[in-house]
Structure 1
Amino acid sequence: MSESVLATEFELKAVDTSERTISGYASVTGNVDAVGDVIEPGAFRRTVAEHAATGFKNLPVYIGHQHASLPVGMPITVAEDAIGLFTKNRIHATTAGNDLLAVARERMAAGQPLGMSIGYKANPSSIKWTTKGGQTVRQIGELDLAELSYTAMPANGSARVLSVKATSDAQWGSQYAAVQRFFDDDVRTTLALVQADELFR
């Protein structure tokens, strides 16, 4: 199986101070993303069941695919439905976690999207190449979900964040700039990989 990254766009809908969670669709099935991939309905069924059986302990949540860094959160809920892959992640009470929640809250207030990527391995036997609207697309029928990351590089404009929750408004302060640098670095890294044709195939 070849490892890939699929970036999706989150539109923030709500925020309250009851808990440190971000919820939304990390992937929407059935639509063509910006790199010509289509994740078919049912593609997540097996991998979600396997992760659920372990309490999602092997499904880390990062900022910008920084695998050398500590995870920024952990999944509470991951489920495939008629729309796509719904996720609810609890964000850790760390500096990076506080920064992420601060950015999410500020972007929601400004009506700006938040990006998210899924890291996955496509099952080669499930891949079909077709043409849609004059565009060659790769249809993925089954995959192994490896990780979730928040990022500034959206590709699938149909995915949406539904809510952002935090424990205390006192956490927000002036943390926006620090995590924005994380996102800026991720965009530069992602663009370099795309140019080298190493990311999506």
Structure 2
Amino acid sequence: MRQQKSAGGLRFAGYASVFDQIDRGGDIVRPGAFKRTLGEGRSVPLLWQHQPGKCIGVIEHIAEDTRGLQVIGRLNDDALAAMLGRELQRGSLTGLSFGYRVQAAAKGRTARELNDVDLLEVSLVRRPMQPLARIHKIAA
């Protein structure tokens, strides 16, 4: 588990990945897939729609739990983040996702099983690859 403090706007909590559930791309993330990367203490940026030039906040907490990759993030105090924050508050934006590079995978019966990934970023997205990867709570 890693925490990062920040000043800024709206905070949210949710899951960027849910374990043992097939996604729209035919992958299943297995428990422990993020363990190595999280143990390295890397900073994980919060992006908009996986766009490297659109850093919209910070990840204050990130950890694996029994459900998946749990995140708590805080949006920046800028125009784009403020607009996205309003959408979060209205409930019209709820998707989370993550960018990664596969380090270890196996071919399962129905999907590719991701067992170890390099976690590169977490993103707010309109349509997450994993339909269950969602924001569950917001707070000002």
TM over 0.5: yes
Paired letter, 2:35 = R
Aligned length: 132
Paired letter, 1:89 = G
1:126-183: CA deviations, max 9, x gaps? Answer: 2111213xxxx111110110011111122312223221122xxxxxxxxxxxxxxxxx
**Dislocated runs of 4+, deviation >3 Å:** none
Q: Which of 116, 120, 127 does residue 142 from structure 1 map onto?
A: 116
Task: Give the CA RMSD over aligned residues.
Answer: 1.5
Aligned to 2:3: none
Q: Distance in 2 between matches of 1:82 and 1:113?
A: 25
Higher normalized strand content (fraction of residues): 2
Pairing 1:35–2:13 present: no
Query: If the length of structure 2 is used for normalisation, what is the TM-score?
Result: 0.87
Q: Which of 134, 146, 164 does residue 138 from structure 2 map onto?
A: 164
Pairing 1:46–2:50 present: no
Higher normalized helix content (fraction of residues): 1
Q: Which of 11, 36, 42 does residue 21 from structure 1 map onto?
A: 11
Contact 1:101 1:164 in 2 (8 A): no
Pairing 1:130–2:120 present: no
Per-residue deviation, 1:113:
5.7
Contact 1:120 1:144 in 2 (8 A): yes
Classify 1:87/1:22 alpha carbon distance in 2 versus 1 (closer, same or farther; 3 Å). same
Q: Distance in 2 between matches of 1:103 and 1:150?
A: 11
User: Unpaired runs of 5+ in structure 2?
Assistant: 1-8
1:84-116: CA deviations, max 9, x gaps? Answer: 000001111111111111000112xxxx56112
SS of alignment partner, residue 163 of structure 1: strand
SS of alignment partner, residue 102 of structure 1: helix
Aligned to 1:153: 127
Paired letter, 1:122 = V
SS of alignment partner, residue 40 of structure 2: helix
Classify 1:162/1:20 alpha carbon distance in 2 versus 1 (closer, same or farther; 3 Å). same
- Percent identity between matched residues is 30
Q: Which of 48, 55, 59 does residue 63 from structure 1 map onto?
A: 48
Contact 2:11 2:139 in 1 (8 A): yes
Aligned to 2:4: none
Q: Distance in 2 between matches of 1:80 and 1:101?
A: 25
Q: Distance in 1 between matches of 2:132 and 2:10?
A: 24
Query: If the length of structure 1 is used for normalisation, what is the TM-score?
Result: 0.62
Aligned to 2:100: 120
